[in-house]
Structure 1
Amino acid sequence: MIKFPKIGPAVLVTAAFIGPGTVITATMAGANYGFSLLWALVFSVIATIILQEMAARLGVVTQQGLGENIRLACTNPLVKILAVLLVVSAIVVGNAAYQGGNISGASLGLVHVFGQGQWLQGSMLETISLWPLVIGSVALFILASGSYQFIEKALILLVTVMSIAFLASFMMVPIDWSEFFSGLLIPSLPTGATLTVIALIGTTVVPYNLFLHSASASKKWQNVEQLGDARKDLYFAIPLGGLISIAIISTAASAFFGQQIEITNAADIAPALAPVFGEHAGIFIAVGLFAAGISSAVTAPLAAAFALSGILNLNKEISSLQFKSIWFVILLLGVLIASIGYRPIEVIWVAQVANGVLLPLISLFLLWMMNSATLGQHKNTKRQNLLGLLVVLVTLLLSARSLMSAFGLL
């Protein structure tokens, strides 16, 4: 009999990185370059497993999240202040901006199935949509439970729905398997695809998930003997997320590559599939987009609350007022951004800068702490350090790209 791993915190990581941003990026990659960039997702999944395994191990062994460990590791007052300011600014600004995208993406799935939900029209605000309020209310209901177990189960359900939707769409389209395996196993870089490759990696390897995973792992498993369960959970959930991304790229490659169909954003995905493969394929994509958006809409505020409560030494209990206040502010900002259709260019600019600096920095912090003597026999091996440094080099490239893009150099 097949024994499945105990599903846990790693599913939260999958729910976080398979959001509307990933759906858009993967769809554009498939539409513009066919199957040729699948290898980038393979690398992304491996890189994510390397970093998230360290984060989970740190959480289980120290029984503290990454935020707490960063605060305790910075003994120099000036370094501690700079680290706190950097993390707080990046988490608040970045997660608020991306939360708007998560809720907008989930709303697009509902729009395709149920049509536009216009709540208010006027001269100053052309349209305020009802769907972001619905999505925000669902996310609020899940987060307000104050129960880690309930939140985890809700996200497992959403990831299951998302998996079925995107994988079903993938199975409904005709796949050129020789092109599929060629793109999966043989790295290639078509002309103009460099930024798309970086984007595919950047939507999977994200700093917020390191905070989320370490904190949630410390709540799920209370002793080091359970590290095996934490790793099994990781090796099941992260590849599942990679498989979903691969399915999205492959579906888009089959439907759109070489066709005269313009795909500019997530709103074009579901309707564009319907005339090519029938209404059912479009509905599956719409449901998947809804599940991806709402799961990320839950995990982004949750990650922010774990990160800030740890770095600021606040109450990190999910049921506490301080913890709830953090995620509520992030959720509220996301709903407002999505409801009025506002595109906060300046906010996104700052988020790019903050995320560009934060990603390699947090990776280096993680590597530093994973070599601490306090971890005993569970500290990093030479092989784990080498792999971690390789990922850091990639994050530095992502950082350079983010900063250059933010300053208009790309």
Structure 2
Amino acid sequence: MKKLLGVTLGILTAIGGFVDIGDLVANSLVGARFGMSLAWVVIVGVVGICLFAEMSGRIAAVSGRPVFDLVRERLGPRTGLTNLLASFAINLLTLAAEIGGAALALELATGIDYLVWVPGVALVAWLVIWRVRFSTMERVFGLAGLALIVFAVALWQLGPDWGELGRQLTSPPESEGAPTYWYYAIALLGAAMTPYEVFFFSSGGVEERWTRRDLGEARANVFIGFPLGGFLSLAIAACGATLFLPHGIEVGSLGQMALPAAVGLGQVGLVAVIFGVFAATFGATLETALSSGYTISQYFGWQWGKFVRPRDASRFHATLLVTLIIATALILTTIDPIKVTEYSLIFSAVALPLTYLPVLMIANDPDYMGVHVNGRFSNLLGTLYMILLLVVSVAAIPLMIATKAGQ
């Protein structure tokens, strides 16, 4: 049972990374507009995040230090600062969207405007980070997010034409142009390989005090948690393709995203999906807030982490509080949290090489890793992914401009 519960770090990371507020709507939107023709992007993203998360977990277990703690040391202060600024800006946008997403879930449950809930969500997130143990936090919200499996059950109940879904895998709709298709492909890849995921995962490994003896647990987190997140993403897209695509309905709200669960499973499905959405977005709020504190504290060499008393890591906790306040203020301007996340996915795609190149370099450095450096296959696959991420990084902004953000 202890080993099973240990896997919840990967589940929390996967739920927060694959199935946050923007991804919930984006996958439903992509399913409604493109059917299952972009499912291959989710698979590419799952393989990529598994590859680099395994490296970052191995780095944490072998060196006892998280990835970002080594970035400045390995790449120098200037490159490290560039990485920090890009990562923090994307983290901040994502955190704002997650707070808004949790508030939107509460609006669905109560009918009270989401803006009323925003300050409360941020306050409770801060209290959880301040008072709740890391292991308890990851297990509660990681496992609660599994309620989103309701989408897979709802898909079965909707009785889709499985042959048609299979045909869509290789046949994009003729009504959608190539630039829009590739724009959403990049957005989905950015969603699957969001930069904060590896920072949170490796820092979480240090919080859990992983050592070389825990490499098996670290890999179990990766190879169970992240594919599970990918499976949920595909189920959401398939629900959109089944319910909305045949009728030409576009998805642009959280309520529409939840509709397949309600149609397939009735009131029980609706309750389950609202609970799952809240758990996933609130878990992602904790994850992104912690990632902001981790990256800044590790760059400047401050004491950090929930494994030490708050008074001994005061600057780390002050960073978390200030970041939560800024993100809350951003959402209270009434900016659409779903749009914020969709834009953050594109900016994440731009920053992907900055995030994953240091991971690849450190995982190959015998001074840090000893005999646990990458093997030939990991290096070959890592190099291929770096080429892909560079292409994605260059193409992301031009496609966003050309398609008016997918319109």
**Matching residue within 197, 212, 217 for 1:209:** 197
Can you list the C-alpha shifts for 1:161-197, whole angstroms capped at 9, x where unaligned? 334x4334334322322344555xx555554322222
CA distance in 2, matches of 1:350, 1:253: 23
Greater helix content: 2
Q: Which amino acid aligns with 2:378?
A: Q
**Matching residue within 381, 385, 390 for 2:375:** 381
CA distance in 2, matches of 1:281, 1:152: 25
CA distance in 2, matches of 1:231, 1:373: 20
Contact 1:364 1:392 in 2 (8 A): yes
| Local SS of the residue matching 1:110 | helix
TM-score calculated relative to the size of structure 2? 0.86
- Match in the other structure for 1:81: 78
- Match in the other structure for 1:144: 130
Return closer, same or farther for 1:26/1:352 CA change in 2, 3 Å cut-off.
Answer: closer
Return closer, same or farther for 1:196/1:409 CA change in 2, 3 Å cut-off.
Answer: closer
Q: Which amino acid aligns with 2:113?
A: G
CA distance in 2, matches of 1:151, 1:169: 28
1:240 paired to 2:233: no
| Local SS of the residue matching 1:258 | helix
Return closer, same or farther for 1:360/1:326 CA change in 2, 3 Å cut-off.
Answer: same
Contact 1:28 1:263 in 2 (8 A): yes
- Match in the other structure for 2:144: 158
Contact 1:159 1:292 in 2 (8 A): yes
Q: Which amino acid aligns with 2:322?
A: V
CA distance in 1, matches of 2:341, 2:210: 38
Contact 2:262 2:269 in 1 (8 A): yes
**Matching residue within 89, 109, 120 for 2:105:** 109
CA distance in 1, matches of 2:332, 2:155: 31
Q: Which amino acid aligns with 2:323?
A: I
Give how far 1:406 is off.
6.5
Contact 2:41 2:189 in 1 (8 A): yes
CA distance in 2, matches of 1:36, 1:208: 27
Q: Which amino acid aligns with 2:105?
A: G
Contact 1:301 1:326 in 2 (8 A): no
Return closer, same or farther for 1:229/1:137 CA change in 2, 3 Å cut-off.
Answer: same
- Match in the other structure for 1:97: 93
| Local SS of the residue matching 1:201 | helix
Can you list the C-alpha shifts for 1:109-158, whole angstroms capped at 9, x where unaligned? 2212210237xxxxxxxxxx212123223312221126322322233233
CA distance in 2, matches of 1:93, 1:359: 13
Give how far 1:227 is off.
0.6
| Local SS of the residue matching 1:44 | helix
CA distance in 2, matches of 1:6, 1:348: 29
Aligned residues: 391
Give how far 1:355 is off.
3.7
Give how far 1:5 is off.
7.2
Contact 1:168 1:284 in 2 (8 A): no
Q: How does 1:190-339 map to 2 (within 5 A)?
A: 190=173, 191-192=176-177, 193-270=181-258, 274=262, 278-318=266-306, 319=310, 320-339=313-332
Contact 1:14 1:237 in 2 (8 A): yes
CA distance in 2, matches of 1:56, 1:337: 32
CA distance in 1, matches of 2:12, 2:265: 32
Give how far 1:284 is off.
3.3
- Match in the other structure for 2:393: 399
Give how far 1:333 is off.
2.0
Give how far 1:215 is off.
1.4
| Local SS of the residue matching 2:131 | coil
Can you list the C-alpha shifts for 1:347-369, whole angstroms capped at 9, x where unaligned? 99996786455310221111111
Give how far 1:55 is off.
0.7
CA distance in 2, matches of 1:94, 1:268: 26
CA distance in 1, matches of 2:384, 2:56: 16
Structure 2: gaps of 5 or more residues? none
CA distance in 1, matches of 2:90, 2:104: 21
Which region of structure 1 is more displaced relative to structure 2, 218-227 or 57-66?
Answer: 218-227
CA distance in 1, matches of 2:290, 2:52: 19
Q: Among the aligned pairs, what percent are the same residue?
A: 23
TM-score calculated relative to the size of structure 1? 0.85
Structure 1: gaps of 5 or more residues? 119-128
Give how far 1:278 is off.
3.9
Q: Which amino acid aligns with 1:156?
A: G
